[in-house]
C-alpha cells in the first residue's frame, strides 16, 4: 500500500512523463489488459486531481516554489519507491 500511495503521489505531481515508462514496465511484467486498464483510469484520476491542486499550490508558494515542490516530491517518491 505504501508503494501505491507513493506512486500515486508521484503521478499527481509529475505524471505526464511517467505513463510511457509505466506502460513498458507493465507489459514486461505481464499485466493483463484489465489490470492495465484499471491503472490507466487511476492514472487519469491522479492527473485530474493533480491539476486541480496546482492552482492553490501556486497561490501559496508562487509559480517557482510550486514547481520546485513538485520536483522535490517527484524525487522523494521515486527514491522511496526504489527503497521499497
* DSSP string computed for 24-53: HHHHHTT--HHHHHHHHHHHHHHHHHHHHH
Confirm if 39 and 26 have CB atoms less than 8 A apart.
Answer: yes
pLDDT of res. 11: 66
**For 18-50, how does the pLDDT look when each residue is reduced to its tens digit (9 = 90+)?**
777 788 788 889 999 999 999 888 888 888 888
CB-CB neighbours of 50 under 10 Å: 20
pLDDT band at 84 (very low <50, low <70, confident <90, very high): low
pTM above threshold 0.75 = no
Under DSSP, the state recorded for 74 is H
Amino acid at each position: 500500500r505504501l508503494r501505491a500511495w507513493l506512486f500515486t503521489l508521484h503521478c499527481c505531481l509529475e505524471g505526464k512523463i511517467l505513463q510511457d515508462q509505466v506502460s513498458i514496465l507493465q507489459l514486461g511484467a505481464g499485466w493483463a489488459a484489465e489490470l492495465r486498464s484499471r491503472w490507466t483510469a487511476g492514472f487519469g484520476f491522479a492527473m485530474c486531481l493533480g491539476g486541480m491542486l496546482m492552482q492553490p499550490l501556486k497561490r501559496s508558494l508562487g509559480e517557482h516554489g510550486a514547481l520546485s515542490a513538485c520536483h522535490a516530491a517527484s524525487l522523494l517518491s521515486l527514491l522511496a519507491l526504489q527503497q521499497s
